[in-house]
Amino acid sequence: MVSDKELAEFLFPEVKETIEDLERRFPPRKLPEGAEVTRFAPSPTGFLHTGSLFTDMIAYYVAKQSGGVYFFRLEDTDTKRTIPGAAGELIDQLFTFGLGHKEGYFVDGDKGDYGPYQQSKRADIYKVGIKYLVSIGRAYPDFCSSEDLEKIRKAQEESKVIPGYYGIYARDRNLSNDERVERIKKGEPWVIRFKSLSDHDRKMTFHDEIRGDLEIQENDIDVVIYKSDGLPTYHFAHVMDDHFMRTTLVSRGEEWIPSTPTHLELFSAFGWQPPKYAHLPVIMKLDHGNKRKLSKRKDPEAAVSYFLRQGYPVEGVKLYLMSIANSNFEEWCIENKKYILDGFKFSFDKMSLDGALFDLDKLAYFSKEAIAGMDIESFYGQVASYAKLYDPELEAKIELDPAYFKKILNIERDRPNPRKDYAKYGDILPLVAFFYDDEYARKKEAGLPFDPAFDRDFIKEFLNDIADNMAYGPDEATWWNSVKEIASRHGFATVNREYKANPSAFKGNMAAASSLMRVALTGSKDSPSMYEIISIMGKDRVHLRLQKALD
C-alpha cells in the first residue's frame, strides 16, 4: 500500500524543500500596524486594460495610504497566451501613469526579497506546496483527458446536474495510490487536483472589503491546481504567492468572487491565514441600451494606450478613475479647490458595488482640470513628450520655436479661472494652428470668414488703419482704447448702449469691429484673447496679417 506521503515523494522526488523552509525563506514583512501589502498581478496577454489600471490604482493607493508595500507580480502561467513584450509594455504604461512599483518583476530583473516575481520562474516553490498537499491527502493526480472531461460534462448536462469535477463525477478522486503510481509509471499524463472537502449544499461566508459579508455556496469542485506543463493554475498560484509574498490585501475584479471559496479552502488546507479581499466593480460601457464590460475589441477606450495616444493627461485619467472609485472624491476636490489625488483618503466603503459606465465627457472634464492645474513648465513638458511620441506635426511646430509655442500654450492660464479648452493634448494643434504662418496661409486660401455686411474696401481701410495706428502695448487697456478710437473713426460705436439705441447710425459695434480684426489675425471668428494673441505674434506678424488679409 502506497501512502499519501510516498505518493508525494514518488510524484516529486526532486523537491527537497518543505513548507517550513519556505516560511523561513520568505519571513513575514516587518511593517507597522495597519500597513497593507497589496499587489498588481497582471498576465502578459495583451496591453494594459482600463479596468486593470483602475484595479491597480486602487492597490497602489491602499498601500501608499497605509504606509505599506505595493508590488508587481507577473502572472504568466498560461504560456500559450503569453505575448512576448507585453510585460514590458505593461510596466512602461504603469510607470507613465505614476503607478510604478519598487518591488517586483522588471524586464531586466526582479527587485525585492520575495521573488521571483514571475510565476513561470516559481515552479519549484509551487511544487513544494503541491507535494505537501498530496502528502496530506488533500491533492491527487488525475488522469482525465480533455475528452474524458468532455464526456463527464455531457453526462451531467443530460441528467441536468451541476457540471464540474466533484463527488461521484470526480472519476479519479478515489483511485488507490497504488493504481496512481502504476499508471504514472506507465506514462499516462496527469495533473494534480485539489481534493475539496466542502459541501455544495452548505454555505460559507467571507468578508469582502467592499461588499461586506458575502454568503456563497461552498465549492466542492476538485479544481486543477497543477497543470501538465508543470505550472500551477491561477487558484493555486494566488494562494501560494500571496501567502509567501505576504500580501495582506488582495484587490481584484469581481469576476473572482465565485472562486473565492476555493481559494479560502486552499488557504485553510495549508493552515494559513488568508488575506483580506476587495472585489472591485468592473468598468462598463453602454451598448445598445445594455451595459457590458468594456471590451478591448469593441471599445478603444478599453486599452490604456488609447488615452496616451489621444493625449489625455495621465493625471486626468487617474482623477476620473478615482471619481468612479469614490464619488466623494469630487466633493473633496472642490472643497480643496484643487484637482489632485494626493491627500485624498480612498476608502473601500465609499465604493459603489456595481460597475460604472465609462464616461468620456467626465474624463474630459477632469482632464481639463488636470491641465489647468499644471504649471506651464510641466504642461509644456507633457505636450512636448506627447508630440514626440504621437504627433509629428505638433512636434514640428514646437521645434520651430519652443519659446513661441510655450507662450501660446500659456494663453489665459495665469489667472484665477484659467482657460480650459484642452481636454487632451491632441486638441491643441487645431486650436493654435493659426499662430503658424503656413497654417494661416492655408486658411486664407480657403477664404477668411469676414462678415459679408462689410465690403472689401471698407474692411481693408479699417484694417490698414488698425495695423498702422493701434497701440501694440504696453497693456491691454491702452491697446483696447486705441482700437476703439480707430474703430470710432471708421464709424463703429464704441459704447454698445449707444449702438443698440440707434444701430443705423453706426457701421456696427465693437464686437463687429473686433471680429474683423480677429478674422484677419486668426482666420477664424473665435479665438482666445486678442491682446494676448497680438502680444505673442509680435508686431511684425500682426501688421502683415492685418494689411494683407484681403490680398
Taking CB under 7 A as the criterion, which residues in 467-496 touch RNA?
476, 480, 496
Give the β-pairing of 103-104 and 69-72. Answer: parallel
The position carrying cell 504649471 is 375
Residues 223 and 251: beta-carbon distance below 8 Å = no
The residue from 51, 141, 274, 281 that contacts RNA (CB under 7 A) is 281
Checking phi first, is residue 508 left (phi over 0); if not, alpha (psi -120 to 50) or beta?
left
- Complex with RNA: residue 75 or 391, whichever CB lies closer: 75
Judged by CB under 7 A, does residue 50 bind RNA?
Answer: no
Judged by CB under 7 A, does residue 211 bind RNA?
Answer: yes
Long-range (24+ apart) CB contacts under 8 A made by 530-538 are 531/476, 531/479, 531/480, 532/411, 532/412, 533/411, 533/435, 534/472, 534/479, 535/473, 536/404, 536/407, 536/408, 536/411, 536/435, 537/435
Which residues from 329-358 bind RNA, rule CB under 7 A? Answer: 330-331, 334, 349-350, 352-357
The residue from 57, 224, 266, 549 that contacts RNA (CB under 7 A) is 224
The piece of 253-261, 401-409, 449-457, 500-508 that touches RNA (CB under 7 A) is 253-261
- Complex with RNA: residue 354 or 393, whichever CB lies closer: 354
Residues 88 and 58: beta-carbon distance below 8 Å = no
x/- map, 86-125, RNA, by CB under 7 A = ----------------------------------------
Judged by CB under 7 A, does residue 510 bind RNA?
Answer: yes
Query: Which triple of cell numbers denotes residue 325?
Result: 472609485
The residue from 22, 184, 214, 550 that contacts RNA (CB under 7 A) is 214
Euclidean distance between CA atoms 133 and 302, whole angstroms: 40
3-state secondary structure of 363: helix
Euclidean distance between CA atoms 494 and 23, whole angstroms: 84
3-state secondary structure of 2: coil
DSSP codes, 293-362: E--TTT-GGGBHHHHHHHT--HHHHHHHHHHHH-THHHHHHHHHTS--STT----GGGS-SSPPBP-HHH
Site size toward RNA (CB under 7 A) is: 88
CB of 107 to RNA, least distance (A): 18
The residue from 6, 9, 17, 78 that contacts RNA (CB under 7 A) is 78
Query: Which triple of cell numbers denotes residue 343?
Result: 491627500
Judged by CB under 7 A, does residue 321 bind RNA?
Answer: no
- Complex with RNA: residue 43 or 248, whichever CB lies closer: 43
Which residues from 515-544 bind RNA, rule CB under 7 A? Answer: 515, 518, 525-531
The residue from 18, 20, 27, 145 that contacts RNA (CB under 7 A) is 145
Sign of the C-alpha dihedral, residues 15, 18, 23, 24? negative
The piece of 9-17, 96-104, 324-332, 452-460 that touches RNA (CB under 7 A) is 324-332
Euclidean distance between CA atoms 50 and 361, whole angstroms: 16
The residue from 38, 50, 66, 77 that contacts RNA (CB under 7 A) is 77
Residues 180 and 140: beta-carbon distance below 8 Å = yes
- CB count within 10 Å of CB 33 equals 6
- Complex with RNA: residue 5 or 173, whichever CB lies closer: 173
- Complex with RNA: residue 469 or 529, whichever CB lies closer: 529
Q: How many alpha carbons fall within 13 Å on the CB side of residue 517? A: 26
Burial of 34 (0-12, 13-18, 19+ CB in 10 A): exposed
CB of 165 to RNA, least distance (A): 6
Which residues from 371-410 bind RNA, rule CB under 7 A? Answer: none
CA angle 57, 59, 61 (to 5 degrees): 70
- The terminus-to-terminus CA distance of the chain in angstroms comes to 104
x/- map, 24-43, RNA, by CB under 7 A = -----------------x-x
The residue from 417, 430, 447, 452 that contacts RNA (CB under 7 A) is 417
Strand-pairing partners, residue 205, are 215
- Complex with RNA: residue 131 or 263, whichever CB lies closer: 263
The piece of 93-101, 138-146, 266-274, 340-348 that touches RNA (CB under 7 A) is 138-146
The piece of 10-18, 72-80, 399-407, 457-465 that touches RNA (CB under 7 A) is 72-80
The piece of 62-70, 172-180, 225-233, 395-403 that touches RNA (CB under 7 A) is 225-233
Euclidean distance between CA atoms 101 and 81, whole angstroms: 24
Judged by CB under 7 A, does residue 153 bind RNA?
Answer: yes
Which residues from 290-309 bind RNA, rule CB under 7 A? Answer: 290-293
CB of 237 to RNA, least distance (A): 7
The residue from 176, 228, 336, 469 that contacts RNA (CB under 7 A) is 228
37-40 β-sheet, strand order: 37-40, 69-72, 103-104
Judged by CB under 7 A, does residue 434 bind RNA?
Answer: no
CB of 448 to RNA, least distance (A): 14
Judged by CB under 7 A, does residue 254 bind RNA?
Answer: yes
Euclidean distance between CA atoms 63 and 82, whole angstroms: 28
CB of 429 to RNA, least distance (A): 16
Which residues from 162-201 bind RNA, rule CB under 7 A? Answer: 162-165, 189, 191
The residue from 419, 443, 458, 547 that contacts RNA (CB under 7 A) is 419
Preceding omega of 474 cis (within 30 degrees of 0)? yes
CB of 418 to RNA, least distance (A): 6
- Complex with RNA: residue 217 or 305, whichever CB lies closer: 217
Q: How many angstroms separate the Cα of 102 from the Cα of each of 63, 106, 125, 335?
A: 12, 9, 23, 33
- Complex with RNA: residue 33 or 201, whichever CB lies closer: 201
- Complex with RNA: residue 304 or 364, whichever CB lies closer: 364
CB of 191 to RNA, least distance (A): 4
